[in-house]
A and B are shown apart, each in its own frame.
Chain A
Amino acid sequence: AQSVTQLGSHVSVSEGALVLLRCNYSSSVPPYLFWYVQYPNQGLQLLLKYTSAATLVKGINGFEAEFKKSETSFHLTKPSAHMSDAAEYFCAVSESSWETSYDKVIFGPGTSLSVIP
């Protein structure tokens, strides 16, 4: 069964500093991987996704993530943090069987990002 761990439930960075949010996954098949962001009182919004194409994935708002199979990691980065990046970030893994339409998308516990002016 697939699972996701996110190291650090809370991360604080200064405005303009590098953002690094860690995600490690476990999957018995080649995974699909996602990063979602949740702002207060809102639903989750996709930042980026990995679907076995390029290992370096670029997303919205300047975020990117690199898939490293050997490390089973999919860390999220942004070169320069903005105040508007303060939110909850979730990493997710999916194991899909298109033949049976079986699909379970499992989310990590989330990392709350604070940006200090």
Chain B
Amino acid sequence: DSGVTQTPKHLITATGQRVTLRCSPRSGDLSVYWYQQSLDQGLQFLIQYYNGEERAKGNILERFSAQQFPDLHSELNLSSLELGDSALYFCASRGDGELFFGEGSRLTVL
């Protein structure tokens, strides 16, 4: 158990819809990272937050947004969903120099 909690574990939705993925970092970790893992794109860095503020941005689409709340949990919002957004979305928190990953949220867009 990494200590990072992600919900939901599985999500099935339709094109055009909006979903929210939630992440709770390990106790004491201030940084949260979001990654998208798909078969053709590998593990893509989306965005990093530190203590509530955005710090680094990767290949995140404009249809996607994220935030980190005062209690340090984070949410990734995906809107106007397309078939290609189907993927495994990972959250990680960083402590002691390493990333601790959650088990991921598998999103299927039909």
A34-B99, A43-B90 known; A104 vs B43 contact (CB < 8 Å) = no
In the bound complex, what is the Cα–Cα distance between A2 and B20 (angstroms)? 29
Instruction: Return the contact of B58 from the options A43, A46, A104, A108 (Cβ within 8 A).
Output: A104
Residues of chain A within 8 A (CB-CB) of B103 are: 42-43
Report yes or no: B45 in contact with A90, Cβ–Cβ below 8 A: no
Report yes or no: B55 in contact with A32, Cβ–Cβ below 8 A: no
Residue of A nearest to B96 (CB): A49
Report yes or no: A106 in contact with B45, Cβ–Cβ below 8 A: yes
Chain A interface mostly helix, strand, loop or mixed? strand
Report yes or no: B55 in contact with A107, Cβ–Cβ below 8 A: no
Chain B interface mostly helix, strand, loop or mixed? strand
Band of interface residues on B: 20 to 34
Residues of chain A within 8 A (CB-CB) of B64 are: none
21 A-B contacts, Cβ less than 8 Å apart?
Answer: A32-B97, A43-B104, A44-B90, A90-B43, A92-B99, A100-B55, A101-B50, A101-B51, A102-B56, A103-B55, A103-B94, A104-B48, A105-B33, A105-B45, A106-B45, A107-B35, A107-B42, A107-B45, A108-B42, A109-B42, A110-B43
Could you list which residues of chain B lie within 8 angstroms of chain A, going by C-beta atoms?
A: 2, 4, 30-31, 33, 35, 42-43, 45, 48, 50-51, 53, 55-56, 58, 90, 92, 94, 97-104
